[in-house]
Structure 1
């Protein structure tokens, strides 16, 4: 049976094109992005338990791996791509800033859709943000030649407001009202997918003018930056013998930077042209993340069907963290 979550990669591309060619209906929706994102996080929280987070913190290796790749591979990739595409100074600075940023909250959403480890993803994002308080300005100062100030309190408060509180609310409801979550669980992926499609459309609409002014070289550099991040996270997971679920989570966490922070820093310290790579990254990583999340989800759903068919009549249910 077709559903929004299964058609998500195609729908993400379709809504992006529609929003680009006719952005006017969505321009006034900018203030809705944060509440919509919080609602998605709440849906994710309904699928989690306290034990999920205990499990993650008892095995910190994937988190450490994500931090290392986040603040080494991504900045270095930004430098190399900027040189390879001979980008202007402003665009190069924009690329470097994105490369120096921590993981973004969008990674948590895509991990949920990809049937990754949401508790691990949230923990990675929070930890990389804390590290980014020091690492982001330091990396920018080395690569771009200018020290910038990062409003760490504001970033952490945003994560608490947009991510931790909604997820905690969902976890608490699951803990105290399991019957309710069991009833709504089968609808959560489609609800979250629909909301994310709306968020993607709003982001594209808000940046439609900027997209039209950026050359192909910047698009290519930004796209490759994101793709290399996704691949490096996944490969690093495989090389360190992580589970498939953890590899997916690593890929998405590393590949999806906090582009909102990157745009804000670029605008404040370098100017609007330097902010364009971040704006493009924000759009592209949502589309690429949607596509890869949708494909991984479809792949997992097929495995679930196959395994549950084989286990028909048995009590044990399919566990993606063990059976993938």
Structure 2
């Protein structure tokens, strides 16, 4: 059972770039059957967040705080530069008051994605740094997400309840994260490895379910937007590329960044917690605003695969042609 659970989790991570878009399509196709289960989403997501936090302890957070400039730079790239560019891109193509622009903005504002830890590790980046920054960013999300959405759109373009959003983020994200960190400390870091054969595969399956249920929730509305997708899809792809490039080139602000930190910054800036974004989009905004976030989950993982291949190629060249 132990080997099967770990093997399944490893297989899932290897083929995430196919499984997640596939789950999205499956959710659209099975929308009629899945709509009754959409209310499960917050609980499924809370579990996913809890399992993510089992790998992070107080010492990880303390270690990150010893690199304040790197932390601040990461958060500025992800939650200052990216939202400005997303809002500008959306306004230029769709108009400042478009729901699609709100969706692009939400994509850029949501916390860093836990899947970035997997890609940073496999590409040769700093796993302790990215893990701690993801946890820190997740904990800050009840403050960051509502504040930035208010800053850009306020109540003029859309009516939404920021206090409810904060409460949802506290219960779905912050509380499970704090419980996970506490369990890490109580078990002295052994909880994650001990429970991994059971908790990890369940977490992967729940991730797929979250994607499917969110896709099912917006499928009835997306059906009438086929023509608009010809414009929305290229714009979402452009934003995803911009976010990755922000991290890569933004790392040079560290004045001579190591390759390890370049890789870490690239994934930190480029990958978002899309499952949380989908939950927030479908709960607080219009179906049109959800579309860019849903499309983001289709393209974010394949884009990460391309980035991984490019870093691998660069490492291989460095070995073959040493300076």
TM-score grouping bracket, smaller chain normalisation = 0.7 to 0.9
Among candidates 112, 124, 130, match of residue 143 of structure 2: 130
Q: Is the 8 A contact 2:103 2:293 kept in 1?
A: no
Within the alignment, does 1:230 sit opposite 2:240 as a pair? yes
Q: Is the 8 A contact 2:51 2:180 kept in 1?
A: yes
Matching residue of 1:213: 224
Among candidates 93, 98, 104, match of residue 81 of structure 1: 93
- CA, structure 1 residues 27+147, in 2 after alignment: closer, same or farther (shift >3 Å)? closer
Cα distance in 2 for partners of 1:194, 1:14 equals: 13
Q: Is the 8 A contact 2:218 2:282 kept in 1?
A: no
Aligned-pair distance for 1:10? Answer: 1.6
Aligned-pair distance for 1:205? Answer: 1.4
Matching residue of 1:248: 267
Matching residue of 1:95: 100
Within the alignment, does 1:104 sit opposite 2:117 as a pair? no
Describe how 1:1-324 pairs up with structure 2 within 5 A.
Answer: 3-58=11-66, 59=68, 60-82=72-94, 93-101=98-106, 103-104=109-110, 107-115=112-120, 117-125=130-138, 127=140, 130-140=143-153, 146=156, 151-177=161-187, 178-185=189-196, 189-217=200-228, 219-241=229-251, 242-253=261-272, 258=277, 260-261=279-280, 266=285, 275-292=286-303
SS in 1 for 2:14: coil
Structure 1: gaps (5+ residues): 84-88, 267-274, 307-324
Q: Is the 8 A contact 1:113 1:294 kept in 2?
A: no
Residue by residue, what CA displacement relative to the aligned partner does 1:131-183 show, whole Å, maximum 9, x if unpaired?
A: 45444234226xxx936565333222222211121122122212221333322
- CA, structure 1 residues 3+97, in 2 after alignment: closer, same or farther (shift >3 Å)? same
Aligned-pair distance for 1:9? Answer: 1.9
Q: Is the 8 A contact 1:95 1:278 kept in 2?
A: yes
Q: Is the 8 A contact 1:114 1:295 kept in 2?
A: no
Cα distance in 2 for partners of 1:10, 1:194 equals: 14
RMSD (CA atoms) = 3.5
Q: Is the 8 A contact 1:112 1:118 kept in 2?
A: yes
- CA, structure 1 residues 226+10, in 2 after alignment: closer, same or farther (shift >3 Å)? same
> TM-score under structure 1 normalisation?
0.73
More helix by proportion, 1 or 2? Answer: 2
